[in-house]
């Protein structure tokens, strides 16, 4: 009897331990916010200018840098409380130990401040690598994020789908939404220069699932690079009331594959629930517009279209350029903002005529063949139309919730009744 009891106890202990091991082995980590540290004073040679500055200016300059240091410490501290993997935890702890030493260094010194800013870049790089690891898990093992931002095992999604993208560089870097490419087993681009008969294979280069942004690159040898990019990415914030317009490829099954134009105004400088990473716009947008460019009246790109409010008329959302710039900075090559905007000063129809050649269709999980567009139209938006007519939209899939912003993730149960994420 004693032996039986011991045996049962050992089995129970083994099962408990095994369950705990499985719990920790399970890749249930959530995506982490990409740092968006406030822009503080540049690392100018303060000592060389100090004589021309008043003491108050010197003090203000120093305080700006100290706030930047505090923002790094606060971000790391918060990130370490999240459910992250051991590799990111180790990287952040290493950076944290270095960053803390700056409290004893003279931040007024330009070289010291430059070293501190390098630590900020290290944090961003570590977070991008972490989010990219999660993306690979999703693709290779069929994991998906749930409404709380946790990755859980689910059936792999292979449904053909489409979205919009626009060119960052003449060499083939393209911006779109993270939710457009998140579950893609295959990725193609078409509609470049208005050519819908040619498709190009593409690969994911960088992602920011927290802010619903992704940068992909055409990897197809038959792609001919552009000679220039005609628009500028505007870094300052647009004002409420500014005119704006959207180019994209919504509902290609019923609306066709020609690029579509809508226009309106910037309704607010914050998005859903006051999200500061977004604009609210009145330009009508639909499923398929995800990842498309938002232009101001001068032809500058001011945002990336990402979602709409299902409970309001003409209330769409676009992610601001400053959040995209964080992602651009982490690309393996430098992607500069063009120095000249060719669109500025041109009549509105001429702006659209030039810009539309640089706006393209992103095809996910579509088999490449001559009838690829028809295939996408038949199989992608047949599903999309069903989703559109059933309440615009109760998050058609787990991927839908991934593209939402941090505010939406924090209160997804309430918000998913009001936000449509353009799940291709």
**pLDDT tens for the chain, residues 1 to 424:** 555 554 544 554 444 443 333 333 444 676 676 676 654 444 344 444 555 566 776 677 777 788 888 888 988 988 888 888 888 888 999 999 999 998 888 877 778 888 888 888 888 888 878 877 776 666 555 544 444 444 444 444 567 888 999 999 999 999 999 999 987 888 999 999 999 999 999 999 999 888 899 999 999 999 999 999 999 999 899 999 999 999 999 998 888 889 999 999 999 999 988 888 899 999 999 999 999 999 999 999 999 999 998 888 889 999 999 889 888 988 889 999 999 999 999 999 999 999 999 999 999 887 655 455 555 555 544 333 333 322 232 222 223 322 322 222 333 333 334 455 544 4
pLDDT at residue 384, as a whole number: 39
Q: How far is CA 253 from CA 256, 379, 383, in A?
A: 6, 9, 10
pLDDT at residue 107, as a whole number: 77
**Interatomic CA distance for residues 53 and 163, integer angstroms:** 52
Nearest of 217, 227, 224 to residue 192 by alpha carbon: 224
DSSP at 263: E
Residue partners of 22: CB distance under 8 A and separation at least 6: none
Q: Residue 247's beta-bridge partner residues?
A: 261
**Interatomic CA distance for residues 226 and 247, integer angstroms:** 19
**Interatomic CA distance for residues 136 and 120, integer angstroms:** 25
pLDDT at residue 330, as a whole number: 85
**Interatomic CA distance for residues 389 and 287, integer angstroms:** 12
Q: How far is CA 319 from CA 41, 237, 298, 331, in A?
A: 24, 11, 19, 19
The Cα angle at residue 176 between residues 175 and 182, in degrees rounded to 5: 125
DSSP secondary structure string, 332-347? SS--PPPS--TTTTS-
pLDDT at residue 393, as a whole number: 29
Alpha helices in 157-216 (DSSP H): 178-181
**Per-residue buried b or exposed e for 278-293, using 16+ beta carbons within 10 Å of the residue's own CB:** bbbbbbbbbbbbbbbb
**Interatomic CA distance for residues 382 and 103, integer angstroms:** 58
Per the CB < 8 A criterion, the answer to whether 424 and 180 are in contact is yes
Q: In the chain, what is the straight-line distance between the N-terminal and C-terminal CA atoms, in Å? A: 63
DSSP at 189: E
**Interatomic CA distance for residues 268 and 237, integer angstroms:** 11
Per the CB < 8 A criterion, the answer to whether 385 and 251 are in contact is yes
This prediction has a pTM of: 0.62
Q: Residue 307's beta-bridge partner residues?
A: 317, 421
Helix (H) or strand (E) holding 200: strand 199-208
The residue behind tokens 């409010």 is: 309
Residue partners of 306: CB distance under 8 A and separation at least 6: 177, 212, 278, 290, 291, 317, 318, 319, 403, 421, 422
């Amino acid at each position: 009897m004693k032996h039986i009891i011991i045996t049962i106890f050992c089995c129970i202990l083994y099962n408990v331990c095994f369950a705990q091991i499985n719990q920790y082995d399970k890749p249930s980590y959530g995506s982490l916010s990409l740092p968006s540290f406030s822009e503080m004073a540049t690392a100018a040679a303060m000592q060389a200018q100090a004589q021309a500055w008043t003491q108050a200016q010197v003090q203000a300059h120093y305080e700006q840098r100290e706030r930047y240091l505090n923002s790094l410490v606060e971000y790391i501290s918060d990130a370490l409380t999240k459910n992250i993997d051991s590799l990111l935890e180790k990287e952040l702890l290493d950076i944290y130990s270095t960053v803390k030493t700056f409290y004893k260094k003279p931040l007024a010194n330009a070289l010291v401040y430059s070293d501190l800013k390098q630590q900020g870049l290290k944090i961003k790089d570590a977070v991008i690598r972490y989010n990219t690891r999660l993306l690979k898990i999703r693709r290779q093992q069929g994991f998906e994020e749930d409404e709380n931002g946790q990755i859980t095992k689910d059936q792999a999604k292979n449904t053909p789908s489409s979205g919009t993208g626009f060119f960052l560089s003449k060499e083939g870097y393209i911006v779109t939404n993270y939710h457009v490419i998140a579950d893609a087993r295959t990725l193609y681009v078409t509609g470049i220069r208005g050519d819908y008969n040619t498709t190009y294979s593409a690969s994911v280069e960088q992602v920011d699932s927290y802010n619903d942004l992704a940068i992909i690159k055409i990897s197809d040898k038959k792609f001919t690079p552009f000679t220039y990019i005609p628009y500028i990415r505007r870094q300052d914030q647009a004002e409420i009331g500014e005119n704006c317009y959207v180019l994209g490829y919504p509902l290609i099954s019923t609306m066709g594959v020609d690029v579509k134009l809508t226009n309106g105004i910037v309704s607010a400088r914050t998005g859903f629930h006051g999200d500061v990473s977004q604009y609210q716009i009145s330009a009508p947008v639909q499923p398929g517009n995800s990842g498309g460019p938002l232009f101001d009246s001068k032809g500058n790109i001011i945002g990336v279209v990402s979602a709409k409010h299902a409970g309001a008329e003409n209330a769409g959302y676009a992610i601001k350029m400053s959040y995209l710039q964080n992602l651009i900075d982490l690309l393996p090559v430098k992607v500069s903002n063009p120095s000249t905007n060719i669109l500025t000063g041109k009549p509105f129809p001429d702006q659209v005529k030039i810009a539309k050649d640089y706006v393209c269709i992103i095809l996910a999980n579509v088999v490449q063949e001559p009838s690829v567009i028809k295939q996408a139209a038949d199989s992608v938006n047949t599903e999309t139309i069903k989703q559109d007519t059933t309440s615009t939209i109760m998050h058609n899939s787990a991927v839908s919730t991934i593209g939402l912003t941090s505010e939406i993730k924090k209160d997804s149960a309430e918000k998913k009744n009001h936000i449509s994420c353009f799940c291709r």
